Amino acid sequence: MLFWGILPIVLLLLLVVIIAKVGTGIQGEQAAPIEKLNFEKIKLVDEGFEVSVLNSGPEAVTVAQVIIDDSFWNADFDPSPTIDRLGRSTVFIPYPWVQGDPHQIKFITSKGLIFTGDVIAAIKTPELSGERFMKYALIGFYVGIVPIALGLLWFPFMRRFSARGIHAVLALTVGLLFFLVIDTFEEGFELAINVPGVFQGTGLVWFGALLSFLLLIAIDQANERRMKKEATGRQISYKLATGIGLHNLGEGLAIGAAFSVGEAALGTFLIIGFTLHNITEGVGIAAPLLKDRPTWKTFVYLAAIAGGPAIIGTWIGGFIFNNTLAALFFGIGAGAILQVIYVISKMIYKESLVKKYSLVSWTNFGGLTLGILLMYATAMLVKY
């Protein structure tokens, strides 16, 4: 049995090796060179530019000439001007850039193709230091943790609602999450545009979402079979906080990246917008707890899980931003949020059957609509 299981794989590998070594048998000249260089990061230092590039094409690429603002310029390469497939090289260009001015960097390959990277407004790239590290942490704290905690403070008020009122609040949570998952997908797809083609940025977003959704569903079903009961309100709140935390990781990425390239005004604008936007997320996290008796520690943990990733995201965006990983994170976050929508919707449906309430009632519809409108209105403070 083992032999017949391994044999097709061995034969397939043998076929691939033969095609790679011998070829297809069809002779012909390449119509045009196939080369692809991706500018991963342009770092501005006192002496000039440090450009990190990735060869995402099918063959090795040799950078023959460097042009800065339409002038040919000398450059040093680490490790080499010839970059193998999926290889990286750092190009140091000693150039007297001007604070606040735009600059354009062009690489001309040995086959004559030109690849361009733009510096919109020149400013020295911030270096990792204890002071800046703590400043980014503070930004993430009052963008993520503080507004989530303020939203959780509505818990005592919501506890006074009737059964129908609790259903309306849960429906409001679903509305918040519907908007949030769409926004998360959009952010992921925007980043996917800048992902090197070989990594299939759009696919990363979809794969991350699908696999995280299915993984969480599988974990839920395994827990239900082992415990012989459905998830409690507290467990759902923790799942909700985890999904929102992944989304807030992306918000931190956006803020940190804005400050790292010198767009301080944009970064400040995003801080204010995200802070107001995230208060509604705290309300949604508290909703599944309305029938439980949580302690103050539960709320501290929920605020940390949902808001803490904004701190990590700000660090990543400010110091080591990577479009490929960011797109994947957004996809995983979207899948986690979709799974929570599924769980809360199932909860509302089953309770409506037990208490003989209509699932599609005016109160539920009103809660769902209000959740979407709240997120839409606060999102207007963030879009630019």
Q: Are residues 169 and 213 in the same domain?
A: yes
Residue 156 lies in a domain: yes
Q: Are residues 238 and 115 in the same domain?
A: no
Q: Are residues 87 and 164 in the same domain?
A: no
Question: Which range, of 44-58, 173-187, 271-285, 304-318, averages the lowest pLDDT?
Answer: 271-285
Paired residues of 72 in beta bridges = 67
Residue 15 lies in a domain: no
Q: Are residues 180 and 56 in the same domain?
A: no
Looking at residue 272, what is its pLDDT? Answer: 67
Residue 54 belongs to domain spanning: 37-119
Amino acid at position 319, single letter: F
What is the C-alpha separation between 133 and 373, in angstroms, rounded? 36
Residue 304 lies in a domain: yes
Query: DSSP state, 141?
Result: I
What is the C-alpha separation between 46 and 10, in angstroms, rounded? 55
Q: Are residues 148 and 295 in the same domain?
A: yes
Q: What's the alpha-carbon Rg for the chain, to the nearest Å?
A: 26
**Strand, coil or helix: what is 78?**
strand
Residue 7 lies in a domain: no
Q: Are residues 135 and 99 in the same domain?
A: no
Domain boundary among 52, 87, 119: 119
Residue 72 lies in a domain: yes
Q: pLDDT digit string (tens) for 302-327?
A: 999 988 888 888 888 777 767 787 78
What is the C-alpha separation between 318 and 303, in angstroms, rounded? 23
Residue 370 lies in a domain: yes
Q: Are residues 349 and 292 in the same domain?
A: yes
Q: Are residues 141 and 200 in the same domain?
A: yes
Considering only residues 293 and 233, tell me which one the structure prediction assigns the higher pLDDT: 293
pTM, full prediction: 0.69
- What are the E-state strand segments in the chain? 37-45, 48-55, 61-68, 71-73, 76-78, 82-83, 88-93, 103-109, 114-119
Domain boundary among 71, 94, 119: 119
Q: pLDDT digit string (tens) for 209-255?
A: 898 888 878 877 776 666 556 667 788 888 878 878 877 887 777 77
Helices 362-379, 264-286: axis angle to 10 degrees equals 160
Looking at residue 277, what is its pLDDT? Answer: 63
Q: pLDDT digit string (tens) for 115-162?
A: 998 888 788 877 777 888 888 888 888 888 888 888 888 888 878 777
Residue 320 lies in a domain: yes
Considering only residues 110 and 354, tell me which one the structure prediction assigns the higher pLDDT: 110
Total count of domains within the chain: 2
- Helices marked H in 291-361 — which ranges? 296-319, 323-354
Count Cβ atoms within 10 A of the Cβ of residue 342 and give its class: 0-12 exposed, 13-18 middle, 19 or more buried: middle
**Strand, coil or helix: what is 92?**
strand
CB distance 51 to 42 below 8 Å: yes
CATH code (residue 46): 2.60.40
Q: Are residues 77 and 225 in the same domain?
A: no
The most confident of the ranges 160-169, 201-210, 241-250, 367-376 is 201-210
Residue 18 lies in a domain: no
Q: Are residues 103 and 152 in the same domain?
A: no
Q: Are residues 189 and 88 in the same domain?
A: no
Cβ neighbours of residue 270 under 8 Å, at least 6 residues apart?
A: 251, 254, 255, 258, 382, 384
What is the C-alpha separation between 335 and 280, in angstroms, rounded? 20
CB distance 76 to 104 below 8 Å: no
Q: Are residues 143 and 69 in the same domain?
A: no
Residues in the chain: 384
Looking at residue 63, what is its pLDDT? Answer: 92
Within 10 A of 323 (CB to CB), how many other CB atoms are there?
A: 22
Q: Which of 212, 222, 169 is nearest to 329 (CA)?
A: 212
Q: pLDDT digit string (tens) for 15-59?
A: 888 877 776 665 555 555 678 888 888 888 888 999 989 998 888
Domain boundary among 119, 144, 167: 119
CB distance 199 to 324 below 8 Å: yes
Considering only residues 362 and 108, tell me which one the structure prediction assigns the higher pLDDT: 108
